[in-house]
Structure 1
């Protein structure tokens, strides 16, 4: 595989630990947007099922299609950011769209409006995702990428559990007034956009180092190399083994939690995720990444089995915590694998293609999960997840043995 030289810019400013200031800023951007999004999304599945009468299969289909839409957008935005070198601008557009959709949720009176807002929000996520991930690699030295992605993921996940925590508190304070809680979610979304505009600095990529046309063609995709496409295959198998976190909220409801307390599962998951993401990122800079990924898959198997077969609140809490740990050990790691394997001038395209293909897999996984839930209950959904994860672990062990030099 022929690679272009790594044109990672030397960061203009560093924080303690050597991580560039723009990475910290991007972490806080993600944190505030996640606070906003999760205040809404922690309640949305229950709101759709309990208030609007939507089936669980429909929730799975809506969530899956919404995430797939985001993934399709990521491949185009990533390629555009490579071609024109405007990663920050695309991130601002994406986060801006996400902020503009937030007032629609409290104003929506029908399922159609909610679904529409959800889709536009996901389009914004798709526009910002790949350019933002590529920007982290652009400003970070290769030896610190694991820590940088881990830090951004940690701050992102702090928002992911702070949002549900606020949602629960506000549901109690407002006597289960969904619309009022949705209004409170509007402010942090606009704070997120302001931080991005004011504090993130983008290195100028020389025109000579950028593709001469949009890099979505066979020649450019081939240039991504064999190792990159192996990582894509691993990501696809892994994504089929998991599904939307909406099913964790529905699992809490099946346990008997009141709607006000159901978002607590995202708080527990987020705590486990945020506490593990940065240490896992640091470890990925120091040990074999395939070994770390195997640990993450084992944690997912354990989470699925506990959620399927251990009853009561104890089983729910343990299963959700294990789910959060598996996220911490794997999500930032995939970003590092992509950043390290792709040529510097194709990073946006590499992230976009990864998100596109895994998004399609997530759509399939969510549809299967919803169908199994409606047919045989939550046990079938999580047991199937454990089986898929087990097959993924076997595949990783084979790959680890046969491709030692690459992984």
Structure 2
């Protein structure tokens, strides 16, 4: 597990680079667009197109699986070329292009096409974006940098569903019209990325000859420990689409369902940055244990959410889990990986965890359809307990090794 960065006086800590801020705003704008669509898509699939819970779970999982393949390839290409921004522009550009398909989609296969294009874009952009953040951030503020980008990303996750709610009211529940509005923030995202984000010096081609593909496939043990732990967490935390479907059972009307994501992302965004800064001082393992505690509580609460206030509590707990885990995993990968393999490490991390998400989402849909809406959440709680036990055991072994040194 990762060790805390040596304490640096607050006055001596460098400022978070402008590039990190700009990438955060890029993520914010794209997430506004994404969440406007994602907040309503499960309802559109179930109500407008008649898709089952199993189909929704498979579509969500398949879209992540598609993204993981491109995340891995973009990470390797980023390490070979030492150029990250062109891949980021391509990835965000494909995401923006996909926004033009959703309003026209009238069948399940067209939704799959739009989701696939969006996820290919997400797969391409995620790895080079994280590699840029790692390259421009000094080690003593790396957790804060990843936490800040995540926090700005979740501001988009907060604003997007709010815009979706307002648009649904103004458009008299016309989901397709809301999908058209989602095109605008995606276009703004591209403007900021192209004109305000610059390629870091550390990723330019000066070191191209030092890369070997077999090194990308032989990442060190510390990286694989983080990947293994993240895989169990991702298996337990399936798509938020099921959380949104649960909102209808709790008493929400369709126009107000996106508020669930507002609540979730508010909790996520308010915690990601301070948790990232705290991890710079004390390390990430204990904070991940806290995140799993929140996830267990969220699953158990949502499994029995028959009233709105219970459901709201469950979404807050889910958001706290996200805030305590997402930025930390990225910072832990960055800390455990040599500079010339960071792109490949992030790509491998995203590849493995994404395939796990495909399995987890499909399983959640099968459980929902076969055993009822509480079943996937109870299964998620059990898997979260297993992840907590594995993490605690790992901390115990690392503590024993330090005691013998």
TM-score above 0.5, yes or no: yes
Cα deviation, 1:204-242, whole Å, max 9, x if unaligned, reads 3354533555x543x4422x2111111111111111111
Q: What does 1:2-401 correspond to in 2, within 5 Å? A: 18-204=15-201, 205=203, 207-210=205-208, 212=210, 215-217=212-214, 219-222=215-218, 224-401=219-396
The secondary structure found in structure 1 opposite 2:15 is coil
Runs of 4+ with >4 A deviation? none
CA distance in 2, matches of 1:230, 1:291: 15
TM-score of the superposition, structure 2-length normalised? 0.93
Q: How many correspondences in the alignment? A: 388
Cα deviation, 1:319-368, whole Å, max 9, x if unaligned, reads 00000000000000000000000110000000000000000111111011
CA distance in 1, matches of 2:88, 2:152: 17
The secondary structure found in structure 1 opposite 2:254 is coil
How far did residue 379 of structure 1 move?
1.1
Instruction: Out of 150-159 and 234-243, give the one that drifted further.
Output: 234-243
CA distance in 1, matches of 2:168, 2:236: 32
Cα deviation, 1:290-347, whole Å, max 9, x if unaligned, reads 1011011111001101111243011100000000000000000000000000110000
In structure 1, the gaps of 5 or more residues are: 1-15
The structure with the largest helix share of the pair is 2
Q: Give the equivalent residue in structure 2 for 1:8.
A: none
The secondary structure found in structure 1 opposite 2:323 is helix
C-alpha distance 46-310 of structure 1, shift in aligned 2 (>3 A): closer
CA distance in 1, matches of 2:189, 2:81: 24
TM-score of the superposition, structure 1-length normalised? 0.93
CA distance in 2, matches of 1:74, 1:197: 20
CA distance in 2, matches of 1:375, 1:365: 15
Instruction: Indicate the RMSD between aligned Cα atoms, in angstroms.
Output: 1.4
CA distance in 2, matches of 1:309, 1:113: 34
